Chain A
Amino acid sequence: MILIRLFLTFLKIGIFTFGGGYSMVALIQNEVVEKNGWMTASEFTDILAISQMTPGPMGINTATYAGYTAVVNLGLPAWEGVLGSLIASLAVIILPVVAMLLVFSWLSHHKGNPVVDSIFKVLRITVVGLIAAAALLLLTQESFGVPGFNKQFVVSLLIFVTVFWLSWRRHTNPIILILASGIVGLVVYSIGEC
């Protein structure tokens, strides 16, 4: 049953993704965390970390990993999780590929069409809001710690501000930022614990 629901959910995610992997993150999060409760927000954040660090399109990586986690979280065996991940990643590409094939020649003839251009212009602007919502929804206590003057919250804020700045202003490679934050986490949280 979960496999069928995964398939339908990721079909929907695929066809409503406009503007790349980050906007797909907003849709996947809405479906797997908010709507279906297949995983917690912090589990989803972990999935995003891995998806950004490993090769391949981020959307495919996130779908694969989220499909696996959704199934295994229900207590089902790992092989069913593998099946779930394959179903999720195939479902997410099927409709866009079909749409792409259908409009392949049509769109190139209608590229100057003002109506088509207007739709894409509004879509591009709207998607910015979608991505902002994904980031806002990930600002959770599980990921940042309980707000206040405690170690985890202060460290999390410092990491957040630094990474945000480096990524926005300096275009620092995300892989380097993720690796560095992991090392910082390991070092900072190990001090005073052993």
Chain B
Amino acid sequence: MYWKLFVSFWKIGTFTIGGGYVMIPLMEQEVVDRRKWLTREEFLDYLSLSQAMPGIFAVNMATCIGRRLGGFRGVVSAVAGNILMPIALILLLAVFLRYFRDNVVVERIFMGLRPAVVALIAAPVFRLAKSAKVTWTNCWIPVVAALLIWLLGVSPVWIIVAAILGGLIWGKFKKVKS
């Protein structure tokens, strides 16, 4: 059982490039369709829970599914399987690229890459704004957050703390009103 969990999450971690959300279809296919460990409804519940909780989405999913199937040892098997290969690969690349850092070909490639990476970070801002339901009345929240971090050097940690408190007060207020 633990071994199967490990292998499944090893596969999910190794064959998805480009971040947590790309893993969803592969995870669904592996956990729901192939192994039949969960129903599709359970899978969706875990999905929203993993998105809501802090941390890395894929690791949170592995934690949920591991816990459900095999308790604490299940969690360890699933999480370890999920991150083993990515860590090993990155380490190999880190050591290798450090050695070739001053190579002129590598430098030229990276001169082209850097603006692309910044664009790839900027693009999801607009996509996420839609799914997070940012509207004209609440768009000051992300704008102020971004300006505080960018211009005043405020740590994102404080922004998150403020958001949690703000949400808490807003929720209490709504509850009293209704």
Contacts and interface: CB of A to CB of B under 8 A. Distances in A.
B122 interface: yes
Given A46-B110, A81-B94, A114-B174, A20 B120 contact: no
Does more than half of chain B's interface fall in helix, strand or loop, or is it mixed? Answer: helix
Given A131-B128, A186-B112, A57 B160 contact: no
B25 interface: no
Contact of A174 (B94, B118, B120): B120
A60 B55 CA distance: 10
B89 A107 contact: no
B31 interface: no
A183 B111 CA distance: 10
Contact of B19 (A18, A58, A178): A58
Interface string A97-111: 101110110011000
Contacts of A117: 171
Contact of B113 (A23, A78, A181, A190): A181
B171 A114 contact: yes
A118 B174 contact: yes
Interface string A154-174: 011101111110011000011
Contact of B49 (A26, A58, A89, A108): A108
Given A49-B113, A65-B93, 10 more contacts: A18-B54, A20-B56, A21-B20, A46-B114, A54-B89, A55-B14, A57-B13, A81-B94, A85-B87, A130-B142
